């Protein structure tokens, strides 16, 4: 098999200044749909999160697998939030078919 990284995290609720700061963490990771209503109409914008750019396999809500080559970028993101989350990483072996998923698009 080929090596990838399983990432698991928990947010430490009391370390966030507010619910909106915690939401910002999730938005930056997962992205979000923003709806803006103006006199001229209703507009929807997709704000892409980091996991839209990094192919991954979702294991559970706060658990996913990425290819080793994306680890540096992922850790840069998590380092910005290090005092507000508990992070665990585990090397995992994937077969060729699973590894192909990490080279293409994210699997949800």
| Residue 89's CATH number | 3.30.70
Report yes or no on 44 lying in a domain.
Answer: yes
Express each pLDDT in 24-65 by its tens digit. Answer: 999 999 998 888 888 888 888 888 999 999 999 999 999 999
Report yes or no on 74 lying in a domain.
Answer: yes
**Rounded average pLDDT over 11-31:** 96
Q: What is the pLDDT of residue 106?
A: 47
Report yes or no on 11 lying in a domain.
Answer: yes
**Rounded average pLDDT over 75-79:** 97
Q: What is the pLDDT of residue 105?
A: 56
**Total structural domains within the chain:** 1
Is the separation of the CB atoms in 45 and 31 below 8 Å? no
Report yes or no on 108 lying in a domain.
Answer: no
pLDDT higher than threshold 70 for residue 107: no
**Structural domain containing residue 12:** 2-101
**In Å, what is the CA distance from 18 to each residue of 14, 78, 88, 91, 100?**
9, 18, 24, 33, 39
């Amino acid at each position: 098999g080929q090596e990838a990284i399983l990432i698991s995290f928990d947010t430490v609720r009391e370390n966030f200044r507010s619910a909106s700061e915690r939401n910002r963490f999730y938005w930056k990771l997962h992205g979000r749909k923003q709806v803006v209503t103006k006199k001229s109409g209703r507009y929807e914008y997709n704000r892409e999160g980091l996991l839209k750019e990094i192919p991954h396999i979702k294991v559970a809500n706060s658990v996913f697998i990425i290819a080793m080559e994306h680890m540096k970028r992922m850790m840069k993101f998590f380092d910005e939030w290090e005092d507000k989350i508990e992070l665990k990483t585990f090397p995992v072996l994937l077969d060729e078919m699973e590894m192909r998923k990490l080279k293409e698009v994210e699997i949800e």
